[in-house]
Amino acid sequence: MKIWALLAIAVGLVYGALVVAGAAPADTAQSLIQGSLGSAKALEGTMKHFTPLLIAGVAVFFALRAGLFNIGVEGQFTVGAFVCAVVALRMPGWLGLIVGILAAAVAGALWAYPAGWIKAMRGGHEVISTIMLNNIAGQLSTAAVAGPFKDPNQQGTTTASIDPALMLPAIWQDPRISAALLVAVLFVIGIWRWLGRTVPGYELQAAGANPKAATLAGIDAPKVTIRAMAISGAIGGIAGALQVVAYEGRFFAGFSSGYGFDALGVALLAGSNPLILFPSAALFAILAKGSTTIQVMNGVPKGISFVILGLLIVIFAAIRYRKVPVKES
Amino acid sequence: MNDLRLLLEGTVILGTPLILAAIGGYFSERSGVINIALEGKMLIATITVWLVTIATGQPVIGVAAGIGASILFSMFHWLLTQRYSLDPIVSGMAINAIAFGAANFLDKRFTDPDQAGFPKLPLMAFWVFALVLPFLVWLYVRHTRGGLRLLAVGSDPEKARQMGVFPQRTRLMALIATGVLCGLAGALIVSNAGSYVDNMTAGRGFIALAALILGGWRPLPTLAACIAFGFFYQLQIQLQGTQVLGISAPRELWLCLPYIATLVALAGLLGRNRTPAGLGKP
């Protein structure tokens, strides 16, 4: 009942905002859909958001199963993208792509490791430490592309671009769908099977659900926590790497447009079922792509998509992720 | 000499909003409510102060409206976390997103590109208030009934309940205090800048949170951390382009300092862990 009230308030707020912005809500909704799904070009743009959101969503989802809020996907994504771009530029060709993606996974894992360690060994909240790591990643990567890794032939703070012919190939033309999507799908299925069918997957979820009970059952909960954070970081790093080799072809300052944060919404919507990551990532991708269209076509400021995002997070969390008070003793 | 004066002035200008926001966070976190939404509250206050002051021509009404908006968001956090037992991290993330989007929306929709200048607030009053506030808060939590209750609820909500304190009520008061202080911090940021740009707070809410953690959730060390962050930030601005010890470090390295210091503090390398025992408990 409460959730329906919340939903009604949210819809009312957005509707009211559209009226205030002087746009007809029905038209706006139409151009949102048109701009994200209406043509091959629009669909390609949505795919460019869908793929990273899906993989980053897997990363957040994975950590959530271990009872960890990995807000740090934003930073792991950035670090992974940067490392991959640097490696792929130094080593052109297939080998460079593979080494770049693997290096990004390692970089992402290393970037997440301190947060896992602090959580497991010192009890410091992983959200605080990952927020700090995100900011450090943003600053250092900006410094790197403004300084030593800057492409001297360009004005902006960016690396050089990878030769488009040497980027990740497409598996479908018109609309062009990159092989990165295939990787993303494999990730979702892989995580689904791993969590559901293997011993480490079971241990991870047990430690996430109740660390005390897991320890009594003979699981080394701190070790599982650190490992889960590192794996989640590795996935986040790969998400960034694929964004470089499949879509952008380079790394630049401010590379992630908040994918790490959106991924939290994606993962919360999915709840405990990884397969729901598909529709939830699609929803966020449509919102991300469509909001650009409504800004141009209907004069609705892009900020409204963040308001919708925030409201969606509240609603999904209210449905899926309610913290049940646990009585100790 | 002139440089020194600039350095001091810059430290105060940059440090005071941090102090206000960090002490705001102090109330929230000491009452046991994890609050990563200081940023969002400051941001919604900046845009409200900006728009209302220009619309009415009265800075007092503008600041009051900004504080009101910040309190509203703070109470939303209380409602979600305490009444509906939503996870405080999720609630905080959502509030930050909503505030970011709403500020962008309101700015793009209502800011008149060729409006007259923004009236200056009595900055000296803000500065004195911000610098004295941590001492007052310290006295408050040590020596008054309300302050001791705040600490009791934040340390062990269940025991506080058994002693006859209502944790939810105490937390509501604490979060209103957070709202007021974040609102003031936002007002100060707009007034310092004299104009509005998108995402005006630019992560300062997180730096305030970092200062709070670095200060071990205690008012006076938090004050010191805020001043230190303000000092290094201003130093970085003044040192730009010059060499320090033979190398010119990129400014981004300086900007990382608060975050690195906080990580080191979280890792327990600066003394014992001082996290309030009841932080995040329902």
Per-residue pLDDT of chain A (329 residues; tens, 9 = 90+): 466 777 788 888 888 888 777 777 888 888 888 888 888 888 888 998 999 999 999 999 999 999 898 999 999 999 999 999 999 988 888 888 899 999 999 999 999 999 999 988 888 888 889 989 999 999 999 988 888 888 888 888 888 888 877 788 887 777 788 888 989 999 999 999 998 899 999 998 888 888 888 889 888 888 999 999 999 999 999 999 999 998 888 899 888 888 888 898 899 888 888 899 999 999 999 988 888 888 888 888 888 888 888 888 888 787 765 545 444 43
- The residue ranges of every structural domain in chain B are 2-266
Identify the CATH assignment for B2-266 out of 3.30.2350.10, 3.40.1010.10, 1.10.3720.10, 1.10.3470.10: 1.10.3470.10
Residue of A nearest to B275 (CA): A124
**Facing A139 at nearest CB: one of B256, B262, B275:** B256
Q: Which residues of A touch B267 (CB under 8 A)?
A: 114, 117-118, 122, 124
- Interchain proximity A307–B105, CB inside 8 Å: yes
- Interchain proximity B213–A128, CB inside 8 Å: yes
What is the model's pTM? 0.88
- Listed residue (B95, B68, B92, B81) closest to B32, CA to CA: B81
CATH topology assigned to domain A36-320: ABC transporter involved in vitamin B12 uptake, BtuC (1.10.3470)
> Which tens digit of pLDDT belongs to each residue from B96-133?
999 999 999 888 888 776 666 677 778 888 889 999 99
Q: Is the predicted ipTM greater than 0.90, yes or no?
A: no
